[in-house]
Amino acid sequence: MFLPLHLKVEDRLCVVVGGGKVAARKCRALLDHGARVRVVATAFNADDTWSAEPVEVALSSYEATLLEGAFLVIAATDDGQTNARVERDARAAGRLVMRVDSPDDSDFIFPAWLRRGAFTVSFGTDGTAPTLATVLRDDAKAGFGEKYADLCRLASTARHEPGWRDLDTNGRRDAIRRLARSTVANYPWATQPADVESDFAAMETQPYFAPGHVYLVGAGPGDPGLITVKGVECLRAATVVIHDALANPVLLDMYCAGAERLDVSKRKGMCQHMQPEINAMMIECARRGEVVVRLKGGDPMIFGRVGEEARALAGAGIPFAIVPGISSLASVPAYAGIPVTDREFGAHSLGIYSLHLRNGKGLSDEQWRKMANGPDTLVLFMGMTVIGEAVRNLTANGLPGSTPIALITQGTTDHQRQVFATLDTIVAEIDGMELEGPGLIVIGNVVKAAPAMTWRHVAQEAKELATVR
């Protein structure tokens, strides 16, 4: 196991033994960080690296004397015996040594890294799978842009401002933390080092991720991969997250592990806090200068009560933004193989309904009539516990008992279950089944599409097969 360290090799002699592709890569990395490099080999491949400055080329067989004055040594030949000899000689001379053919016999290894100005992220596997480290590095490139170089520059410049000296250790740490969280997710202005004062002034007026703001964010339907990019940015910037039970807690560990978490457990049958309390909580946190994310399951604009929260924030003078999420409306049926509209099944219109109204009221007779004689596809939210009542009212108002219906629970998660039936058979079908909410109901001919569009078990089998391999 290797301890991650950043070594300064600038103006220090580093010796690379070998003249092939691997040796050239190590030589380029050392040169990029300011090292003086001596390369030793009897032959060199065609590579511009060998003619770069400041490279000292020793076209000869390896001898221990060639390690004199070295800060570190890299054995990168294709001959194991030569590499072993270089290792022994380097250790005898008290030099750090790396063998490219044997991480276990090395004092250090080269991770895959991203560098943005003074900001560096490295990806290492202790030498066991360097290709994997490279793949992970390449996947992360899009997420680590030049804004990170700007942030480091700004943080470094801030330390020379007069006000910095007046802060104690905690104050400085808090200032840097706020600077990072206010800029790293979306750094919207380009500046030169001399503009640090205007940068801080811009931070105070910048509406995106500025302290004292609330972001009403949709977490998606359950699968942690279905949160939006902007939702992730908000979580990364957050200092406080106020979350419902329907928001996957995995998102908190992935994107805002250092933020304060306040669980308000808002879901049917489990309201740990009433809505006025949650409103007051958001306002209080924002007033003390926090970057607050109110994380809600699905899309907060669809049966998420975001309107009540936004109006409460507006009334208190708290700046806020709404970040829509991927709704359960279409995503949960999609994970069950159901398109909510499909012309081959005559589904050209869509109606969405909540079966639980304000103050516990149910739907009126007129609402049931409109629903039964309305859109081609019905999607009913929060209806699992009243599915029997829904079936009775819909059939009583003219919807045929042969109409297909699907009940989908814990949609888009690894625990998703779905039951396919008709209005006449669904209640008997689920009787005695232990189903855990949340549940979504889809009614209409589109349910018939599911057998031909089932895909999750195929994806899961492929995932399991890859794990076994």
pLDDT band at 191 (very low <50, low <70, confident <90, very high): very low
Residues paired with 295 in a beta bridge:
217, 243
Residues paired with 113 in a beta bridge:
122
Using alpha carbons, select from 316, 317, 313 the residue that is nearest to residue 294: 313
pLDDT at 352 over 70: yes
- CA pair distance 89, 457, nearest whole angstrom: 57
Give the mean model confidence (pLDDT) for residues 226-237: 91
pLDDT at 464 over 70: no
Instruction: Give per-residue pLDDT as tens, 12-63.
Output: 999 999 999 999 999 999 999 999 999 999 999 999 999 988 899 999 999 9
Residues 191 and 150: beta-carbon distance below 8 Å: yes
- CA pair distance 259, 389, nearest whole angstrom: 43
- CA pair distance 2, 133, nearest whole angstrom: 14
Instruction: Give per-residue pLDDT as tens, 162-174.
Output: 777 777 777 777 7
Residues with Cβ within 8 Å of 402's Cβ and at least 6 positions away in sequence, in order, are: 422, 423, 424
Check the CA dihedral 335-337-343-349 and report its sign: negative
DSSP string covering 52-67: STTEEEEES---GGGG
pLDDT at 270 over 80: no
Q: Name the packing angle between helices 387-396 and 365-372 (round to 10°).
A: 70
Q: What is the DSSP letter of 290?
A: -
pLDDT for res 320: 94
Give the mean model confidence (pLDDT) for residues 186-206: 40
Say which range, 67-81, 183-197, 200-214, has the weakest mean pLDDT: 183-197
Residues with Cβ within 8 Å of 211's Cβ and at least 6 positions away in sequence, in order, are: 178, 182, 239, 289, 290, 291
Residues paired with 350 in a beta bridge:
377
pLDDT for res 465: 38
Residues with Cβ within 8 Å of 174's Cβ and at least 6 positions away in sequence, in order, are: none
pLDDT for res 149: 84
Residues 408 and 334: beta-carbon distance below 8 Å: no
Instruction: Give per-residue pLDDT as tens, 286-328.
Output: 998 899 999 999 999 999 889 999 999 999 999 999 999 999 9
| Terminal alpha carbon distance of the chain | 25
Q: Cα–Cα distances in Å, from 111 out to 87, 178, 248?
A: 20, 30, 32
pLDDT for res 222: 92
Residues 103 and 109: beta-carbon distance below 8 Å: yes
Residues acting as catalytic residues: 244, 266
Q: Name the packing angle between helices 196-205 and 169-183 (round to 10°).
A: 70
% residues pLDDT > 90 (the chain): 62
